[in-house]
């Protein structure tokens, strides 16, 4: 049996399951402060005998195994979790291999193994929710360099009608600052799910996401692009993304039919937790 944690900014999902992606039991724990959240995580896994645990975490996190702060959450705006030694804390509670990566990398892995990109050796998973982040599988492996990618914070060209200053605490009008859920709410004065009929909202959203996709496509050439996260529940954004992407790329690269190429997660809301199970499986295999 394997353990998995999808550590999000508002909730932790903990689950046990197997390497085929089957989930046997799961719970949700609110993300408050480590001293409150983590004992509940430990209590859950104490009920099972897991042979490894995989974590897909909000970030940024330190995924460089040679670093002294490997396994820590690093510069998160959630101050209680800043510099929290996530892997070390779990290692102390359970002496099993721990896999550690970003929430979006876990979701990319889940989708590439069992979801919309099953059988492909390359894909991109992007979430548009409270933040924007992406994980990439390249040549069968999660893309990692100095650290994990942070594709949500790229710079984009402004929509001619957009005067919103942007909401990213680091860069103001980066992609996340202009197009994540909180930016939509701040710009238009209501949450996304209350703006369903406002055509201009979703047109502008697609304008920004399409620019990001163009850059990801030109740099990584993924075989499939999966768009998840709360904002992508607005299916009209896909239509806007297809329209602008076609316009921006101007037939420079040959792509599959966009409706087959840029899709919703095949695993739905389970992409992250399923991918975290895969991180556990990988960690187990690496240590044995």
> 274: which 2 tokens?
């399923």
Q: Name the site residues for Zn ion (rule: CB under 5 A).
A: 153, 168, 170-171, 174, 176
* Residues 9-68 interacting with ligand ADP (rule: CB under 6 A): 9-10
Please report where in the chains the tokens 């933040």 appear, as a residue: 131
Q: Which of 34, 60, 85, 182 binds ligand ADP (CB under 6 A)?
A: 182
The rounded distance, in Å, linking the Cα atoms of 18 and 34 is 27
Query: Residue 151 or residue 278: which is nearer to Zn ion going by CB?
Result: 151
Q: Which of 18, 83, 191, 285 binds ligand ADP (CB under 6 A)?
A: 191
Peptide bond into 27 cis (omega under 30): no
Q: Segment near ligand ADP (CB under 6 A), from 6-14, 19-27, 33-41, 70-78?
A: 6-14
Does 129 help bind ligand ADP (rule: CB under 6 A)?
A: yes
Q: How many CB atoms lie within 10 A of CB 144?
A: 16
**Which among 231, 85, 94 is positioned nearest to 152, based on CA atoms?**
231
Does 229 help bind ligand ADP (rule: CB under 6 A)?
A: yes
Please report where in the chains the tokens 């999966």 appear, as a residue: 226
Shortest CB 48 distance to ligand ADP, Å:
25
Q: In degrees, to the nearest 5, what angle opens at C-alpha 126 toward C-alphas 122 and 131?
A: 155
Query: Residue 60 or residue 182: which is nearer to ligand ADP going by CB?
Result: 182
Which residues are 213's β-sheet partners?
Answer: none
Q: Which of 64, 74, 76, 130 binds ligand ADP (CB under 6 A)?
A: 130
Helix (H, G, I), strand (E, B) or coil at 219: helix
Does 77 help bind ligand ADP (rule: CB under 6 A)?
A: no
Query: Residue 79 or residue 288: which is nearer to ligand ADP going by CB?
Result: 79
Contact 204, 158 (CB under 8 A): no
Shortest CB 12 distance to ligand ADP, Å:
11
Does 85 help bind ligand ADP (rule: CB under 6 A)?
A: no
Helix (H, G, I), strand (E, B) or coil at 250: coil
Contact 238, 126 (CB under 8 A): no
From the list Zn ion, ligand ADP, none, pick the one residue 78 interacts with, judged by a Cβ distance below 5 to 8 Å according to partner type. none
Shortest CB 67 distance to ligand ADP, Å:
26
Query: Residue 85 or residue 182: which is nearer to ligand ADP going by CB?
Result: 182
Please report where in the chains the tokens 């921006």 appear, as a residue: 248
Number of residues that bind ligand ADP (CB under 6 A): 16
Contact 225, 216 (CB under 8 A): yes
Q: Which residue ranges make up the site for ligand ADP (CB under 6 A)?
A: 8-10, 127, 129-130, 181-182, 191-193, 229-231, 233-234
């Amino acid at each position: 049996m394997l353990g998995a944690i999808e550590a999000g900014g508002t909730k932790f999902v903990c689950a046990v399951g197997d390497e085929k992606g089957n989930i046997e039991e799961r719970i949700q724990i609110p993300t408050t402060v480590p001293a409150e959240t983590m004992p509940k995580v430990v209590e859950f896994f104490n009920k099972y005998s897991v042979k490894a645990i995989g974590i897909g975490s909000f970030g940024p996190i330190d995924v460089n195994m040679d670093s002294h702060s490997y396994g820590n959450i690093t510069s998160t705006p959630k101050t209680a979790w800043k510099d929290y030694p996530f892997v070390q804390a779990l290692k102390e509670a359970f002496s099993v291999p721990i896999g550690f990566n970003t929430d979006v990398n876990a979701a990319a892995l889940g989708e590439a193994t069992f979801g919309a990109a099953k059988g492909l050796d390359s894909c991109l998973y992007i979430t548009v929710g409270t933040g924007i982040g992406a994980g990439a599988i390249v040549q069968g492996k999660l893309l990692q360099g100095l650290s994990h990618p942070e594709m949500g914070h790229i710079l984009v060209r402004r929509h001619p009608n957009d005067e919103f200053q942007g909401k990213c605490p680091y860069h103001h009008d980066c992609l996340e600052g202009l197009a994540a859920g909180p930016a939509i709410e701040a710009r238009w004065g209501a949450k996304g799910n209350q703006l369903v009929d406002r055509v201009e909202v979703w047109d502008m959203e697609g304008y920004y996401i399409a620019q990001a996709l163009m850059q990801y496509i030109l740099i990584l050439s993924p075989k499939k692009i999966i768009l998840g996260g709360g904002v992508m529940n607005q299916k009209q954004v896909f239509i806007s993304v297809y329209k602008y992407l076609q316009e921006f790329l101007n037939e420079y690269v040959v792509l599959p039919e966009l409706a087959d190429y840029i899709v919703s997660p095949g695993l739905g809301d389970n992409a992250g937790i399923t991918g975290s199970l895969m991180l556990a499986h990988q960690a187990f295999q690496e240590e044995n």
